[in-house]
Structure 1
Amino acid sequence: MPRYIKVDQKDNIVVALTDLEEGLSIEMDSTNIHIQEHIKAKHKFALKDFDSGDEIIMYGVLVGNATGPIKKGCGITVDNVKHASAAYGSSKEKYHWTPPDISKYKDKTFMGYHRKDGSVGTSNNWLVIPLVFCENRNIDILEGLLVKSLGYGAKKDFAVDVNSLINKYRSGASDEEIYDTPIISSYEEMTENRVFQNIDGIKFLRHDGGCGGTRQDSEMLCRLLAGYIVHANVAGATILSLGCQHAQISILKEAIQEKDPKFSKPLYFIEQQKSGSQQKLIEEAIKHTFVGLAQANQATRKPAPLNKLVLGLECGGSDGFSGISANPSLGYASDLLVALGGTTVLAEFPELNGVEQELINRSKTGALGRKFSQLMDAYSQKATAVGSGFESNPSPGNIKDGLITDAIKSAGAAKKGGSSPITDVLDYGEKVTRPGLNLLCTPGNDVESTTGLAGSGCNVIVFTTGLGTPTGNPVAPVIKVSSNTTLFERMNDIIDVNAGTVINGGDSIESMGEKLLDHIIEVASGTITVKAELKGQHDFIPWKRGVSL
């Protein structure tokens, strides 16, 4: 296994793949380097002597400036480097792309649900949605009444025996005896008793919006909810409205019509202020939902070409290995899918800071490059106005594991988008309509971003992580990919695929990219259920368009 790597020939810092002890002598670019201090795995060290103000280059781009002298072989840290990123403008040259070899995949298909609008779902779900937070309690009631009765719920979970602790406490047990009492047992909840065998799940989209705040937030919520309702993975929906909120039924209907003019799925609206009582509201909602499920149950999986996949590209809880293992592997899988005529979507605009020019150069038209620049500029200005610019994006966990500036984090995060040309640039809530690589303006916040990816039409999401996260989504299966093997082994209950083999030399970027695409096809066909779905992890947080990094 290699112990360090220079990611790009232009780089003047090097990544430690294992802990490097002080005094170690290595050779890089025909130069002998003595490691001057202990360098932890995932962190970086200087390839040359730096003076204050000198540029720090990684992934071939500017990622920071030295804040003081840094000797060759010393660590790159928050104490000696500050965030910096390159300016950007219009594209100066035509972009040329060489697609990867797709001969292995050209005749492959996945088993999906074919919709009347030509899209293909990777799952078949029914949605129950509140138009306003006032209806969340009714959503809770409906979930309690419907999920287990119809044979749904988390497939694998654990039982907690709190009564054992109560009995110990009542018998006068010590704190140590209570701590030593086993209370967790795993179990598997069987799903063979589903009433509707072709419905993969009933999903409940609670949120805290729809009224209060700004009218624009409520209108954006309606556009986002419309994206979920017309989604290829959705068979139909039951909508609960109070009646007086900003997010009116009429606004949602207009948004659905805009996204799918020939919309024909079962859709039921129930307004509490017209129902007469909560009891009648619940009764009406259950009966409508049951009838809709019976209709939606007629759908079955059929073969579909891989170009019907719309793949969301997401990362979160990133570490110093994310940008050299999991993210570029996902980028290669993205390139394969694009070469097959499919669609991929790269989000998280605060984590594209520093690589804007590369993405502008890859845009198929000048108009797309300008739209991307405008969205980035507006986002950056809002963040700066409240004293929290893009440089504030890295979390304590990111920094602890080697991502010490936003530009380092961003340059690695952008690798998820591979190298294919950019065919469209979308704002939050806009629907994906063009094959190829799309850019979608979302926050770096994991759940707000995955919520937006699904709302724009992604029927599968791949989520790379170096630190671990349980994040899932109500409608789009979220495949979790670890950047390192230690994480995969430690949090195997929530991680689906291990890309840490790229670090130890067991896989190349290309071979891991193919493994990822193979896994995506299995998930899209319903033959593999992602860990987040097994855990019932259905995260849904709409972005209110405030500053969220």
Structure 2
Amino acid sequence: MSAVAHSPLLKLHPDDNIAIARNAVGENQECELSETESVTTREDIDLGHKVAIKQINKGEAVRKFGQVIGFATCDIQPGYWIHSHNLAAGELSLDYAYSTDVPAPPEPITGRTFMGYRRPNGKAGTRNYLAIVSTVNCSATASKYIARELAQTSLKDFPNIDGIIPLVHKGGCAMQYDGEDHHQLMRTLGGFAKHPNIGAYVILGLGCETGQGAFLSDSEGLVQLPNLKEPPANAPLVLNIQDMGGIAKTVKQVSALLKEYLPQVNDVTRVPIPVSELILGTECGGSDGNSGVTANPALGIASDLLVAHGATSILGETSEIYGGEHLLTRRAITPEIGKKLIERIRWWEEYTGKFGVVIDNNPSPGNKRGGLTTIYEKSLGAIAKGGSTALREVYRFAEPVTEKGFVIMDTPGYDPASVTGMVAGGANVVAFTTGRGSCFGCKPVPSIKISTNTPMFERMEEDMDLDAGRILHGTSVEQVGQEIFELIIEVASGKKTKSEAQGIGDEEFCPWSIGPVL
């Protein structure tokens, strides 16, 4: 193996004027970048952080992945650390070039299946939960009490039920009736109620809230227990605490009602289902400087493989596409679809501007400790999760995803809200990359954790499902991507993820509220 392969620094693209650290690098260490190029570090460089490999003058673009990630705020000599003290985002001038580089469709792959639940309405589930859909925060406590009551007394006799999930949140009232925020919440709650991973559900409200259960059922076309073969006669769809006489009476009555559903919810068998019916939600959280080098590109390979099998892969986090959107508009199958993405980008600029916020405020303190400096750098790494196939559609938050192939959903960068939107849209598996160490779980959908670096994987192995950090030390991106794809099939077929094994996922349901609290 060459000295370059063993070098502690990695140059990602011929046009780059920086390299990243595969591991911590000491001061005054000579590092080969290619057979003809090397640099000597002039200070300590942490794992995932950037180092100048040539002279970069003040105001000059700094390039990673061959793309601009910001501009030098002072002269930077070769070998010196590049981060927030000498790099700022600045203004980009992007050419969207709509639909000018649409990839050819991948060679179709047929015949692969996973073992899932075929629901009566034809949809494919990967898990089997019972849910209490809380319309408002005022019914959240009752929903949790009901779930606790059922979990403690009833589930042991029903091994095919993965659990009882109270879908509780902090909203549901103090919003404009029939307004955009109201409809987005209804869309989110309705998406979970109709999700094929929910065997049965009940809607629980207080009774006087803006987000009425009747409005939810009517606006979202909710039908009586669609995943039960023989729904009980006269089973109520919407229940309100005020009508039932308070918390204690509600817990007693709703618990008794849901116990009647358990035998039928349990009466399911996994059957072979084409991989084409998987909908993957992709997320990155607790990112670091290696996210765009290891785990995200490997997940992009898995995304491409799913698309080749006829399945769907969703890229979310619009605020973490910002600065890299020009690479996606080129892949849009029509200019109109590309323009839908830019319309969402412009919405985010206006939305954040109302509050005096700039989108480049996005990299968190943990992201920055891991080596990420600007939103452009973070976005260029984040969009790698979407692979390389054509962009076929752009969806609003929690809209039902019906298109096959690679799609985008407009979600915030905040992980719980982003994943909530994708699951409401129909994602039945989530793949979540992390560099700092996110322990995110996501009932009722399994969440696969993929680490971007090996030290974190070894430190948090009880929470991580797969180590993509091996890519930094010689394992190919393609090999790890294939491993992720195979793990997605295994998890969809019932293999528990690390977060599921620990019971994580009850607190992560997080509908995105965009309007004022009135």
TM-score of the superposed pair, with normalisation by structure 2? 0.92
- How many angstroms does 1:94 deviate by? 3.2
Q: Of the candidates 45, 50, 72, which is equivalent to residue 39 of structure 1?
A: 45
Rounded Cα–Cα distance in structure 1 between residues aligned with 2:27 and 2:140: 57
CA RMSD of aligned residues (A): 2.1
What is the match of residue 131 of structure 1? 135
Letter in 2 for 1:220: Q
Residues 42, 264 of structure 1: alpha-carbon distance in 2 compared, 3 angstrom cutoff:
closer
Q: Corresponding residue for 1:503?
A: 472
Tell me the residue number matched to 1:187.
none
1:248 corresponds to: 212
- Alpha-carbon distance in structure 2 between the residues aligned to 1:400 and 1:355: 22
Amino acid at match of 1:135: S
Letter in 2 for 1:461: V
Q: Deviations over 1:352-372 (max 9, x none)?
A: 111111111111111111111
User: Per the alignment, in what secondary structure is the counterpart of residue 389 of structure 2?
Assistant: coil
Whether the aligned pair in 2 keeps the contact of 1:448 and 1:541 (CA below 8 Å) is yes
CA contact (8 A) 1:239 1:269 kept: yes
Query: What residue is the counterpart of 1:113 in the other structure?
Result: 117
Q: Which residue of 1 aligns with 2:149?
A: 145
Q: CA deviation at 1:239?
A: 1.2
Equivalent residue for 1:175?
Answer: none
CA shift in 2, pair 1:112/1:39, >3 Å: same
Question: What displacement does 1:96 show?
Answer: 4.0
Pick closer, same or farther for the CA change 1:100–1:43 going to 2, 3 Å: farther
CA distance in 1, matches of 2:256, 2:225: 25
| Residues 1:73 and 2:73 are matched in the alignment | no
Contact kept? 1:205, 1:474, Cα under 8 Å: no
CA deviation map 1:473-523 (0-9, x unaligned):
121100111111111111112111111111121x21100011011111111
Question: How do 1:311-390 and structure 2 match up within 5 A?
Answer: 311-390=280-359
Identity %: 36
> What's the CA shift for 1:3?
1.7
Aligned with residue 302 of structure 1, among 264, 271, 281: 271
User: Match of 1:239?
Assistant: 203
| Aligned with residue 437 of structure 1, among 406, 412, 417 | 406
Tell me: CA distance 1:476–1:262, structure 2 relative to 1, closer, same or farther (3 Å).
closer
- Which residue pairs with 1:97 in the alignment? 103
Q: Closer, same or farther in 2 for the Cα pair 1:283/1:34, shift >3 Å?
A: closer
| Gap regions ≥5 residues in structure 1 | 152-193
Residues 4 and 137 (structure 1), Cα distance of their counterparts in 2 relative to 1, 3 Å cut: same
Cα deviation for residue 394 of structure 1 reads 0.4
1:88, 1:412 → 2: CA distance? 17
Cα distance change of structure 1 residues 34 and 102 upon mapping to structure 2, 3 Å threshold = farther
From 14, 36, 52, the equivalent of 2:19 is 14
Distance 1:250 1:257 in 2: 10
CA distance in 1, matches of 2:101, 2:79: 37
Query: Which SS does the other structure have where 1:517 is aligned?
Result: helix
Distance between the aligned counterparts of 2:378 and 2:364, measured in 1?
A: 10
State the Cα deviation string for residues 39-85 of structure 1 (Å, max 9, x = none). 22211111221111111111122110000101122111111110146
CA contact (8 A) 2:431 2:449 kept: yes
Given that 2:98 and 2:335 are in contact with CA atoms closer than 8 Å, whether structure 1 keeps it comes out as no
CA deviations over 1:456-485 (Å, ceiling 9, x no partner):
110000000001112111211001111111
Residue 25 of structure 1, CA deviation: 2.7
TM-score with structure 1 length normalisation?
Answer: 0.87
Cα pair distance change 1:296/1:55, threshold 3 Å: same
Give the one of 474, 478, 491 matched to 2:447. Answer: 478
Give the whole-Å Cα distance in 1 for the aligned partners of 2:404 and 2:203: 31
For residues 138-537 of structure 1, what are the structure 2 equivalents within 5 Å? Answer: 138-151=142-155, 194-215=156-177, 216=179, 217-257=181-221, 268-505=237-474, 507-526=475-494, 528-537=495-504
